[in-house]
Amino acid sequence: MNNLIDCYMCEEPKVECMITFVEGIPICDTCDIFGASKNFNDECPVCMENGKLWKLGYCSHKFCINCIKTIYFGTSKEKKPHKHWKNIESPNWPFDDNDDDYTIKLEEYWDYEKKYFDLEKNSYEQLLLIRNNSMNDRPEWMNTDLFLEFENNKLLYSIEQYELENIWNKYNDSKIKGNGCCPLCRK
């Protein structure tokens, strides 16, 4: 699995190459709005705390990093979920991508999944039951031991991913976020 680093601003785990350490703080490509930021020791004009200030990329105003985070990205009083869905690993598709029917199988399974598996309504056990009852309606290659083992793991993964995504969305919804522009010049 790729080495993932949590961005300080959006808090999402990102691949290492998307992260820049600015003054030791990991910030991802998407959240890097500071341009050539430099820090200064001064009083933050928003929270009035003394400390290091960061200059915004598109105007000359400076704020502390906590205020920048709240204004542009949001901060929550809730505890950050212990896991993001990107931190769990999806099982590997059990067929070789050099096989002639590689894409056909992927597409056939994609259609099957869409038709039968509703993650929102079904538990893992229910999904297994649905799968077992629909084995006659799908191509034989999906019913081999090799594929069934992959599928069981994939269902476990999908359920966990779905749950983690919901937890993460709830956490994001709990964030208090400013209006996303500089509080002094509105840029």
Q: Maximum distance among all alpha carbons in the chain?
A: 71
Q: Does 119 bind Zn ion (CB under 5 A)?
A: no
Binding window for Zn ion (CB under 5 A); candidates: 53-61, 80-88, 91-99, 169-177: 53-61
Closer residue to Zn ion in complex, CB, 31/164: 31
What type of residue sits at position 184? L
Q: How far is the CB of 70 from Zn ion (least distance, A)?
A: 8
Footprint (CB under 5 A) of Zn ion, residues 62-81? 64, 67
> Within a 10 A sphere around the Cβ of 31, how many other Cβ atoms?
22
Total chain residues near Zn ion (CB under 5 A):
16
Contact letters (x/-) for Zn ion, 147-186, by CB under 5 A? -----------------------------------x-xx-
d(Cα 145, Cα 107) in Å, to the nearest integer?
Answer: 20
Q: Which two tokens stand for residue 89?
A: 């690993």
Q: Select from 18, 19, 44, 142 the one that contacts Zn ion (CB under 5 A).
A: 44
Binding window for Zn ion (CB under 5 A); candidates: 31-39, 97-105, 153-161, 166-174: 31-39
Q: Does 25 bind Zn ion (CB under 5 A)?
A: no
Q: Does 61 bind Zn ion (CB under 5 A)?
A: yes
Q: Where are the beta strands (DSSP E) in the chain?
A: 4-6, 13-15, 19-22, 25-28, 39-43, 50-55, 62-63
| Burial class for 159, CB neighbours closer than 10 Å (0-12, 13-18, 19+) | middle
Q: Which two tokens stand for residue 31?
A: 């959240």
Nearest to 84 by CA among 160, 177, 8: 160
Q: How far is the CB of 75 from Zn ion (least distance, A)?
A: 11
By the criterion CB under 5 A, which residues form the site for Zn ion?
7, 9-10, 28, 31, 44, 46-47, 59, 61, 64, 67, 182, 184-185, 187
